[in-house]
Amino acid sequence: MDRENRQPAWPGVELRHFVALAAVAEEASFNGAARRLGYTQSAISHQIATLERILGRQLVDRRGDNGRTTLTAAGRIVEAHAAAINASITAAQLDLQALLESGDGGGLRIGVYESVGSRLVPGLLRDFASAFPETALEFQEAVNDAGLVDAVEVGALDAAFCVAPIPDGPFESMEILSDPFLLVRRSRSPARRRPTGRGARRAPLRIFGEQELLCFRTCRGTELVLDVLRAHRVEAGIAFRSDQNETLLAAAAAGLGAALLPRMAISELSPTLELHHVDELPSRGVAIVWHAHRTRLRELDAFLELASTLGRALAADEQRRLPVPA
């Protein structure tokens, strides 16, 4: 048969059929899918039945375990492709929306959290403006990365700095540096006080049992460290939480506990404080995340390359400033 005479695959399949199948899969019921989409239950049933008739396969098991509606093996295959189609359509909508809001000249909207912003944003602004003087680079600042990844997913941001690992979603990411966690505590005797910039001592895990912790309130990296401590059966009490770097350092200087902080969050270190590095602790991976299905602009590619270069340089500078034992 000539290619010109071939019929399109599955004639009659419409986007609304795929949307209905995805909703049934997520809600595990026809009624739940109807509520989500604003349809009647019978309308959802009709769309699924029509899709099954067109494809010639049963896609939904209407007598699933525990009364839940589930997809058949064929249904799971179709739903996976349907999800990709829906994601592409959503991405197209986001691209057009961004074009309408910014005009043909465009611009990049980047989410950034506190410690990354203070160390990387100045250099990024300088170098990006030199390479793309006609493209605006706008930063949305946050105390931490909570919410920034969600903003990327809905198109409110073109990319965002965040803590690895990246949450599930339609994302691609690139890690630009590794930022070790350190324990910052008040020196126990004046003789042991060390001048700023002398680096960290290696310490065993049991150091976490000597003082209660001072740590971030909302930081996925902190939670990863606490998971490691629990896995090693180390009990670490938490005396205080704050999302402000300087507050945690001041609390440590006051002797209220030991502050658990990534190295980049330690801007100034009082001589009354000392640093400890524990080999078993994971580092905080600093990454950039963007929407996997949106059009990758050359400006975003250039931004990613600049961020990677500056990230490597920053990691080297931080190791010189506050050395961590190899």
Residue 129: CATH number of its domain? 3.40.190.10
Determine the pLDDT at residue 273. 92
Same domain for 294 and 167?
Answer: yes
Same domain for 34 and 161?
Answer: no
Same domain for 274 and 194?
Answer: yes
Answer yes or no: is 154 within a domain. Answer: yes
Q: What is the CA radius of gyration of the chain?
A: 26
* Segments of the chain scoring below 70 in pLDDT: 1-9, 64-67, 91-106, 189-198
Answer yes or no: is 3 within a domain. Answer: no
DSSP state of 41: H
Answer yes or no: is 189 within a domain. Answer: yes
Same domain for 164 and 226?
Answer: no
Answer yes or no: is 5 within a domain. Answer: no
Answer yes or no: is 148 within a domain. Answer: yes
Give residue 60's Cα distance to chain centre: 33
Domain termination residue (choose one: 70, 99, 128): 99
Question: Is the distance from CB of 120 to CB of 150 less than 8 angstroms?
Answer: no
Answer yes or no: is 308 within a domain. Answer: yes
Determine the pLDDT at residue 314. 94
Distance CA 69, CA 64 (A): 5
Same domain for 168 and 211?
Answer: no
Same domain for 280 and 290?
Answer: no
Same domain for 277 and 128?
Answer: no
Q: What is the 3-state secondary structure (H, E, C) of 113-168?
A: EHHHHHHHHHHHHHHHHHHCCCCEEEEEEECCCCCHHHHHHCCCCCEEEEEECCCC
Determine the pLDDT at residue 147. 87
Question: Is the distance from CB of 34 to CB of 41 less than 8 angstroms?
Answer: yes
DSSP state of 191: G
**Tokens 């050395």 sit on residue:** 323
Same domain for 160 and 18?
Answer: no
Same domain for 312 and 219?
Answer: no
Which residues in the chain belong to E strands, given as ranges?
Answer: 60-61, 70-71, 107-113, 136-142, 159-164, 171-186, 200-202, 213-215, 238-241, 258-262, 273-277, 283-291
Same domain for 15 and 147?
Answer: no
73: domain range?
A: 10-99
Strand pairing class (283-291; 159-164) = antiparallel
Determine the pLDDT at residue 13. 82
Answer yes or no: is 45 within a domain. Answer: yes
Distance CA 92, CA 194 (A): 56
Question: Is the distance from CB of 286 to CB of 161 less than 8 angstroms?
Answer: yes
Give the number of domains in the chain. Answer: 3
Both structure tokens of 151 = 């903003």
Same domain for 183 and 239?
Answer: yes
Answer yes or no: is 4 within a domain. Answer: no
Which pTM value belongs to this model?
0.70
Q: What is the CATH number of the domain that holds 228?
A: 3.40.190.290
Q: What is the CATH number of the domain that holds 59?
A: 1.10.10.10
Same domain for 228 and 248?
Answer: yes
Give residue 316's Cα distance to chain centre: 24
288 bridge partner residues: 161, 174
Domain termination residue (choose one: 51, 81, 99): 99
